Amino acid sequence: MRIIDLTLKDLTQIFRDRKSLLFLIAMPVLFTLFMGFAYKSGSDNTGSKDTRIPLGWVNNDPQGVLSGQLFNLLSQSDSVKLVVIVPGDAEDSVRKGVVAGALVVPAGFSEQGTAGQVAQLTLIADTSSPQGQSLFQILRTPVTQLMSAAEISRLSAESVGSPDEFQPSFNAAVEAWAKTDTASLVKVELAVAEPQKAWYGDNPYNQSSPGILVMFAIFGLVTSGQILVQERKTRTLQRMMTTSMRSWEIVAGHLLAMFTVVFIQETLLVVFGQLALGVHYSRQPLGILIISIALGLWIAALGLLIGVLVKSDSQVILFSLLAMFLFSAMGGTWFPLEASSGAFAAIGRWMPSAWAMTGYQNILIRGLGLESAWQPVLVLLAYALGFFALAVWRFRKMEV
Query: Strand 53-59 vs strand 101-105: parallel, antiparallel, or unpaired?
Result: parallel
Interacting residues of 181 by C-beta distance below 8 A, sequence separation 6+: none
34's enclosing H/E stretch is helix 27-46
Computed over every residue of the chain, the mean pLDDT equals 77
Kindly indicate the confidence band of residue 356, based on its pLDDT and cuts at 50, 70 and 90. Answer: very high
Output the pLDDT for position 366: 84
Q: For residue 381, what pLDDT is reported?
A: 95
pLDDT of residue 285: 94
Tens digit of each residue's pLDDT (9 = 90 or more) over 137-186: 888 878 887 788 777 777 777 777 776 777 777 777 767 666 665 444 44
The Cα–Cα gap between 49 and 35 comes to 16
For residues 188 and 343, the model is more confident at 343
Q: What is the pLDDT of residues 179-238, one digit of tens each?
A: 665 444 444 333 333 344 555 566 778 888 888 888 888 776 666 667 777 777 777 766
Query: What's the CATH fold of domain 53-178?
Result: D-Maltodextrin-Binding Protein; domain 2 (3.40.190)
DSSP string, 231-286: HHHTTHHHHHHTSS--HHHHHHHHHHHHHHHHHHHHHHHHHHHHHHS---GGGSHH
3-state DSSP call for residue 122? strand
What is the four-CA torsion angle of 101, 106, 109, 111, rounded to 10 degrees? 170
SS3 216: helix
Q: Which amino acid appears at position 194 of this protein?
A: E
**Domain range annotation of the chain:** 2-43+200-399, 53-178
Highest mean pLDDT out of 65-79, 274-288, 313-327: 274-288
Q: How far is CA 183 from CA 77, 304, 365, in A?
A: 6, 40, 11
| Total residues found in the chain within this entry | 400
The answer, yes or no, to whether residue 290 has pLDDT greater than 90, is: yes
**What does DSSP assign to residue 169?**
H
Q: Is 104 helix (H, G, I), strand (E, B) or coil?
A: strand
DSSP 347-374: HHTTSHHHHHHHHHHHHHTS---THHHH
Say what the pTM is. Answer: 0.58
Give 204 or 99, the one with higher predicted confidence.
99
pLDDT-derived band at 360, boundaries 50, 70, 90: very high
Lowest average pLDDT, out of 189-203, 228-242, 304-318, 335-349, goes to: 189-203
Provide CB contacts within 8 A for 250, sequence distance 6+.
6, 237, 240, 241, 395
Instruction: Give the residue-averaged pLDDT of 119-133.
Output: 79
Cβ atoms of 338 and 354 closer than 8 Å: no
Where are any strands of DSSP class E within 116-274?
A: 122-125
Q: From the CB of residue 293, how many other CB atoms can be counted at a distance below 10 Å?
A: 17
The CA distances from residue 389 to 18, 30, 112, 222, 326, in Å, are: 32, 35, 51, 20, 21
Residue 345 CA, chain-centre distance (Å), reads 15
